Structure 1
Amino acid sequence: MVIDEKETSSSPEEESFAELFEKSCKKTARLKPGDRVEARILKVGAEWVFLDIGSKGEGVLDRKELADAEGNVTVAEGDTLPVWFVGSVRNELRFTVKMGAGAAGHAQLEDAYRAGIPVEGYVEKEIKGGFEVKIAGTVRAFCPYSQISLRRVEDAAAFVGRHLPFRITEYAERGRNIIVSHRQILEEEQRRQRDALRESLQEGMTVAGTVTQLKDFGAFVDIGGIEGLIPISEVGWTRVKDIRDVLSVGQQVTVLIKKLDWDAGKFSFSLRDTLADPWESVVEKFPEGSFQTGTVARLAPFGAFVTLAAGIDGLIHISKLGQGKRINHPREVVQEGETVEVKVDGVDRENRRLSLSLAAVSRAQDEEEQTLSTFRRQSADSAAASLGSFADLLKPKHDRSKK
């Protein structure tokens, strides 16, 4: 009996399908309880939500986890959401978005601890050293102050009464001693956001962010994945003494990325560079020879700096402060914070310099020069008139001599 080779060999399509199936099985086998996966919702059923978990295949999620208090599902087909692999039940991949919600979750707390799956918790009250958190409905857990946020807790009351995701970091005495961390959840999300930002962010880009902390040397801003510093010198065009006069925690700002140091984890932003440069219109607003009103911003041994507008400071040199008299320091004439009238003597837009003088001194000098000019002119006229009279006296004698 001769066996046809065609009957024993597989077609290329069958081989291809077999290879794909084998690869799919291998990828699925790599999933371990606690693994996080980005899943797309394929269908919302009466009891289960069917998920597309990419190259790893398909899975299911209990519909109740995505339902609100009225039982309405809060997501739609096509939406994506993060899920955690729980395990395989009858060759069906089971996932969860959180564990520990309700009595059913109580039996799963130890599994969640071992697999690193987040649990939902309710921050019930503040206690010594941290917070009492209820998970699985009634199970008491403890969250230290250091584990409730990414940074030091300033207002503990702001966390009480909130539902937050936690990771169980310690599970002892059969669940009678449970310690949880919300910070670990935040750090993981921050790492994921940072990895995504590293691919897209570049120095020179303008991005939106939120002020998270204020320090004497600047403000920290979160742009959704990384936190960077706006040095106080980069807050605005005006010299800022106290950053709290300009910014507040929680304020939304637009910043320009000055430096990205991913290895050191240091990021520098500028708020000033997103604002219009006031020196672009300085010639039109403060033309040479004009009189302006400003505020003495600071004093130096060589003169007084006067602020005419936001970001526009000019210098009155010490030689122009004494009204002709020698002074040892500008404080002998003006004080910081004092409002003064000045005259713009010179404008250097390229070097961002304004040369000023006190208006009173300038006017006095102008009057002195005008008086001197008038005197010189009158003297010249008198001299000319005198010469004319002398010529008239000599003229008759000159005429007689001709005769």
Structure 2
Amino acid sequence: MTEANSDSFEDLFKAQQTRKIRHLTPGQKIKATIVGITEETTFLDVGGKSEGVLNSSELKDGEGNISYQLGDVLDVYFLQAKASEQLFTMRIGSGSSTAHLEEAFRSSIPVEGFVKAEIKGGFEITLGGNVRSFCPYSQMGIRRVEDSGKEYLETHMQFLITRFEENGRNIVVSARALQEALREEMREKLRNTLEEGQTIDGTVSSIRDFGAFVDIGGVDGLIPISEIGWSRVQNVAEHFTVGQQVKAVIKKLDWDNNRISLSYKETQEDPWEKAAASFAEGSTHTGTVARLAQFGAFVTLAPGIDGLIHISKLGAGRRINHPREVLEEGQDIDVKIESFDLADKRIGLVPADYVSQESEQEQEQKEYRKFIAKNNGAKEKKTVGSLGALLQEKLAKKKK
């Protein structure tokens, strides 16, 4: 053995000797690092003097392959100490006895269950291969059960045992309790990483009349109906479906009240950026009446671009009390751009024939003024002519 190897071995030995035994209580959750894997057993570094042991079957995927490798860190639960080994589990699964399930109940260790059937008030869940339990509808998940919960049937899920009575003949489980604990952990991680203005990925978790909730990895954010699109949105379900993957911009973070506001429209091109070139002042367009208000009518000129016809510009010269007297929603109308304000994203409109109508009125007034002026001038000219004639006549008489 070389001197270097001897020193390395001595250092490792001393380090092993100085490690303190880590005392754990059944059900305690810790992080452990995989230091060895065999077909039957996985060895864990749990930070104590003794080694942790995990059944390798818990690391296998649906095809029976171990999907972990040396150095991976796992969340595990302490079961018991046996000789010089400490036994751990990631969950209690199929093949578990009633005694193991009772230990899982006392230590709050997750158990794997099979959703066998829907029964009155909830679902029948099979634990450990043949042990019956019950999960109420309200405890199947964080979100309410949709469509009678058919999406849960014949699936494997993780549960916490919340009631264990009559030696295992009366067992109640909850998936929600486990999910809420997991989401709280994820929430704390997100709290340190999310920022306002950040673009994030998420999954639409539910749809409401006022907007869509999006799961962004541990917490839900809300896309209000006003932030779905640049155009006015009336039906949220026309834009989103549950399970849809979306990108959104974080508008506001309120961790104290568990509220995260998101914007979907800000991930899309702002139509106003090109609007100035398309809607120059004085240009004429055909739009659709989108909404009627007491003060005027909003007209959609293009997706996301609305203009306003003030009520004073409607009625073809006559006074009206509400735009509905001359327009209705959904009606097509020809309009002229009267003003364009890109900074405030406002467009002032008038009916296409409004300018010509106003010019005609002005023309009539001008003609009337000309008529009055002409008549007054003629009378004045006639009067001046008569006085001149009279003076000339008097001068002629004096010469004679």
Cross-structure match for 1:140: 132
Which of the numbers 113, 121, 131 marks the counterpart of 1:129? 121
The secondary structure found in structure 1 opposite 2:315 is coil
Cross-structure match for 2:28: 35
Cross-structure match for 1:7: none
Q: CA deviation at 1:189?
A: 1.1
Distance in 2 (alpha carbons) for counterparts of 1:211 and 1:68: 27
Structure 1 residue 341 corresponds to structure 2 residue 334: yes
Structure 1 residue 165 corresponds to structure 2 residue 143: no
Cross-structure match for 1:189: 182
What is the identity, as a one-letter code, of the residue corresponding to 2:235? D
Cross-structure match for 1:220: 213
Cross-structure match for 1:231: 224
Distance in 2 (alpha carbons) for counterparts of 1:354 and 1:46: 72
Cross-structure match for 1:24: 20
RMSD: 2.9
Q: CA deviation at 1:350?
A: 1.3
Q: CA deviation at 1:47?
A: 1.9
Say which is worse superposed, 55-64 or 165-174, in terms of deviation. Answer: 55-64
What is the identity, as a one-letter code, of the residue corresponding to 2:273? E
Structure 1 residue 243 corresponds to structure 2 residue 239: no
Distance in 1 (alpha carbons) for counterparts of 2:227 and 2:248: 10
Distance in 2 (alpha carbons) for counterparts of 1:295 and 1:139: 64
Q: In the TM superposition, what whole-angstrom CA distance separates every residue of 1:268-291 from its partner, at most 9, and x where no partner exists?
A: 222233332222222112111211
Q: CA deviation at 1:22?
A: 5.2
Q: Note closer, same or farther for the CA distance 1:280–1:109 as it changes in structure 2 (3 Å cut).
A: same
The secondary structure found in structure 1 opposite 2:104 is helix
Distance in 2 (alpha carbons) for counterparts of 1:84 and 1:178: 21
Cross-structure match for 1:392: none
Aligned pair count reads 360
Say which is worse superposed, 329-338 or 45-54, in terms of deviation. Answer: 45-54
The secondary structure found in structure 2 opposite 1:74 is coil
Q: Note closer, same or farther for the CA distance 1:60–1:152 as it changes in structure 2 (3 Å cut).
A: same
Q: In the TM superposition, what whole-angstrom CA distance separates every residue of 1:46-79 from its partner, at most 9, and x where no partner exists?
A: 3211223357874221112223566432323333
Cross-structure match for 2:323: 330
Q: CA deviation at 1:224?
A: 0.4
Cross-structure match for 2:108: 116
Cross-structure match for 1:321: 314
List gaps (5 residues or longer) in structure 2: 1-9, 372-400
Q: In the TM superposition, what whole-angstrom CA distance separates every residue of 1:242-283 from its partner, at most 9, and x where no partner exists?
A: 222222222222112122222222222222333322222221
Q: In the TM superposition, what whole-angstrom CA distance separates every residue of 1:207-232 from its partner, at most 9, and x where no partner exists?
A: 11111122222221110011122222
Q: TM-score, normalised by structure 2?
A: 0.82
Which of the numbers 73, 86, 94 marks the counterpart of 1:101? 94
User: Contact between 1:99 and 1:105, CA under 8 Å: does it hold in 2?
Assistant: no
Which of the numbers 282, 300, 315 marks the counterpart of 2:293? 300
Say which is worse superposed, 48-57 or 204-213, in terms of deviation. Answer: 48-57
User: Contact between 2:139 and 2:176, CA under 8 Å: does it hold in 1?
Assistant: yes
Cross-structure match for 1:178: 171
1:255-274 counterparts in 2 under 5 A? 255-274=248-267
The secondary structure found in structure 1 opposite 2:91 is coil
Cross-structure match for 1:203: 196
The secondary structure found in structure 2 opposite 1:345 is strand
Q: CA deviation at 1:363?
A: 5.1
Q: Note closer, same or farther for the CA distance 1:247–1:56 as it changes in structure 2 (3 Å cut).
A: farther
What is the identity, as a one-letter code, of the residue corresponding to 1:110? E
Distance in 1 (alpha carbons) for counterparts of 2:229 and 2:62: 48
Q: CA deviation at 1:107?
A: 3.6
Q: In the TM superposition, what whole-angstrom CA distance separates every residue of 1:177-234 from its partner, at most 9, and x where no partner exists?
A: 1111111111111011111111111222111111112222222111001112222222
List gaps (5 residues or longer) in structure 1: 1-13, 380-403
User: Contact between 1:130 and 1:143, CA under 8 Å: does it hold in 2?
Assistant: yes
The secondary structure found in structure 2 opposite 1:241 is coil
What is the identity, as a one-letter code, of the residue corresponding to 1:238? S
Which of the numbers 271, 277, 282 marks the counterpart of 1:284? 277
What is the identity, as a one-letter code, of the residue corresponding to 2:124? E
User: Contact between 2:50 and 2:84, CA under 8 Å: does it hold in 1?
Assistant: no
